[in-house]
Amino acid sequence: MAFLSSGFRGFCILLAISCFACPAWAGQAVSGHNPDRFDVRDYGATGDGLHLDSPAINQAIAAAAGTGGGTVYVPAGTYLCGSIHLQSNIHLEVEAGATILGAPQSMGAYDETEPYDLGGFQDGGHCYFHNSLIWGENLTNVFITGQGMINGGGMVASDKILDRMCGFNQKHSSTNPGKLPPVRLGNKAIALKLCRNVLIRDVTIFHGGHFAILVTGCDDLTVDNVTMDTDRDGIDIDCCRNTMVSNCRINSPNDDGLCPKSTFVLGRIQPTENLTIVNCQVSGFKEGTLLDGTEQPSKNHNGRIKFGTESSGGFRNCTVANCTFRDCRGLALEEVDGALMSDISINNLTMLNVYDYAIYITTGERNRTPNLQTLSRGRNILISNVIADKVGAMSGIQIMGLPAQPVQGVRLSNIQLISCGGGTQADAGRQPEELGVGYPEPNKLGTMPAYGIFARHAEDLELSDIHLSFDTNDARPAAMFTDVQGLDMDHIVAQTATGVPPVKMGAGVEQVTIRNSPGIP
């Protein structure tokens, strides 16, 4: 007992000394003050939705950066903002109940577009970053988190003036930027260029302009549990390495939802590589109706996960897994600017009400790359465990290479595709034109002559455990192949109308192996 009493007395003495010797620490614990936490209200932000708060938020960021970094805290309220300037070692925390609201264009609150003279090898939206709601360039350690909202408000989705400024033309590439003055056209919610160690987590982005999130040339990027309900692109991942996108919900009726790209905007060839997309949902409902829960049909129903079209650097070592598609277009892999798309693994997709197509793999010769010496190539692409129901009658799965450069090593396995059907004998007799320099979108080529699989210009194509069927009678075969060298089909089950062959082989199909596929001769 004496020993315990002595020990307890010693502990009390140490506690008293500690409290006496560290009054500053004790005071901080009582008041809750954190010297590394910078409340934007302490720098003049009002949060009333009426006064422009971005100058105060930028002051708080500058103050935090001046001490080496810290958390810039945005408490509950509505903060009317123009451009917010991120800096290195900054954590922008948007609290639940807080909204960063994009200012109207008439306020001139967004930064001017920065100089750009590399030519229009991609549209103007990809060329300018400073005219964004939240932006950063050449930064390290950037974090945007919280349960609050980023509402684009007055930002615009159309930015044709930027196309003219950079010299972009939809029909051809240009090396001659337009001679136009800078503009303050706010058109992106979050734009990051050449940043490293980036985290965007938990926030909700509504009405994000041309891009809810645009990340270009970034390394070690994580986007997790972010909801985007926006007019045009959800997130574009351009020329980035070591990226993880997980647990995100992206609704984008008028453009692409989750879109890896590899433009020439950095002035060099740089692939998007080491990319993982997992546990994400994409949809094409009317803007705002994912957030309010009504999920109303839209006019354009884009949405989708799409690699490309901008693809000067190509794509390699990319994984997509455990994702759902609803009321939007399907999965698209598009390499059309002269680079290589390779080592792509896609697994566990569920698609419901997918318009136009379920899976689209193509290479083309649009060639928006300067001094190009190579053809677009695609190889080593594995897609497995897919359920696609109510697939548009235009096509099911398309695999199309170039006549001089076939797509190589595509493997599809364990796929169930249910087409809406309704194809006619005239559709079955069509010969789709070559994509060539055209824009790589299936609706440019029209209805395919097979409702399930159409493959052309491919080598080493393997199809296994695939079930193809339709809801409405269809006069087209389930699959059609042209110019395919090395076709292996195992356990293919194909529904067909009376008198219609399940598979049609066109010219140039050689080295065919068919196993365990009743009805397919």
Task: Please state, for a pLDDT cut of 90, what percent of the chain lies above it.
Answer: 87
What are the C-alpha distances in Å from 465 to residues 14, 268, 412, 490, 517? Answer: 72, 42, 8, 6, 9
pLDDT at 36: 85
Angle at 391 between CA 400 and CA 212, to 5 degrees: 80
What residue has token string 């109706």? 289
**Tokens encoding 473:** 């009678």
- How confident is residue 272, by pLDDT bands cut at 50, 70 and 90? very high
pLDDT at 476: 98
From CA 51, how far away is CA 223, in angstroms rounded?
30
Angle at 270 between CA 268 and CA 272, to 5 degrees: 155
Average confidence score pLDDT of the chain: 92
From CA 480, how far away is CA 503, in angstroms rounded?
6
Number of Cβ atoms within 10 Å of the Cβ of 429: 10
Is the pLDDT confidence value at 459 over 80?
yes
From CA 177, how far away is CA 117, in angstroms rounded?
6
pLDDT at 206: 98
pLDDT at 196: 98
What pTM value is reported for the model? 0.92
Quick: pLDDT tens for 282-310.
999 999 999 999 999 999 999 999 999 99
From CA 501, how far away is CA 494, in angstroms rounded?
10
- How confident is residue 194, by pLDDT bands cut at 50, 70 and 90? very high
Quick: pLDDT tens for 304-319.
999 999 999 999 999 9
Quick: pLDDT tens for 357-396.
999 999 999 999 999 999 999 999 999 999 999 999 999 9
Quick: pLDDT tens for 470-514.
999 999 999 999 999 999 999 999 999 999 999 999 999 999 999
- How confident is residue 3, by pLDDT bands cut at 50, 70 and 90? very low
Taking residues 223-238, report their average pLDDT.
Answer: 98
pLDDT at 30: 32
Which candidate, 384, 256, 274, places its Cα nearest to that of 330? 256
pLDDT at 521: 83
Task: Please state, for a pLDDT cut of 70, what percent of the chain lies above it.
Answer: 92
- According to DSSP, the residues that pair with 482 across neighbouring strands are 456
- How confident is residue 34, by pLDDT bands cut at 50, 70 and 90? confident
Is the pLDDT confidence value at 19 over 70?
no
464 φ, ψ to 5°?
-145, 145
Quick: pLDDT tens for 40-87.
999 999 999 999 999 999 999 999 999 999 999 999 999 999 999 999
- How confident is residue 174, by pLDDT bands cut at 50, 70 and 90? low
pLDDT at 173: 60
pLDDT at 172: 59
CB distance 394 to 367 below 8 Å: no
Taking residues 272-285, report their average pLDDT.
Answer: 98
Is the pLDDT confidence value at 18 over 50?
no
